[in-house]
Copies of this chain bind each other. A is one copy, B any other.
Amino acid sequence: MKIKAFQDYYPEELSYCYGCGSKNKLGHQIKSYWDGDETYCRFQPRPEHMAVPGYVYGGLLASVIDCHATGTAAAAKYREENRAMDSKPAFRFLTASLKVDYLLPTPIDQPFEVRAKIKEVNGRKVWVESKLISGGKVCVKGLVLAIQVPENMKFGQPGE
């Protein structure tokens, strides 16, 4: 049986995100999973995702780190409450702040992996630390402050 990614459990209004929405056909559709106490996401950049020839565009790397971090924050919250990710009420996180440090250029001709863990939790605020690894080297480090959205906050529907 195929293991479902965090994003496959997202409620309807979060399933159209350009970075991670499983229903956004033109988006990146990243998929995040648990591996022990860490989470990971593997991504194969496309040729057009270049910064300079041979290397991945930093904005794409920031995007994958961003969505993987909000997914990690939600998954950690479910795990903390020992609840399945499709149980209600749904935990939804949005990014309040994103910091990305580019240490090495990330090769475009191979998949990279983002590994994340929870650094700190303070009420509805969750700090998620990420490392982006390609070819065994840490190319980028990320820190995301994800905020849990109140359960009663209303989102629109696509097309509204």
Known contacts A62-B59, A67-B59; is A53 also within 8 Å of B102 by CB? no
Whether A27 lies near B48 (C-beta < 8 A) is: yes
State how many copies of this chain the complex holds: 2
Contact partner, A98, options B51, B60, B62, Cβ 8 Å: B62
Residues of A72-111 contacting chain B, CB below 8 A: 94-102
Known contacts A24-B48, A94-B51, A97-B101; is A59 also within 8 Å of B19 by CB? yes
Nearest Cβ distance between residue A119 and chain B, in whole angstroms?
Answer: 16
Nearest Cβ distance between residue A92 and chain B, in whole angstroms?
Answer: 9
Q: Which residues of B contact A19 (CB under 8 A)?
A: 51, 57, 59
A160 within 8 A of B: yes
Residue of B nearest to A100 (CB): B98
Residues of A23-42 contacting chain B, CB below 8 A: 24-27
Mark A residues whose CB is within 8 Å of B: 13-14, 16-19, 24-27, 48-54, 57-60, 62-64, 66-67, 94-102, 155-160
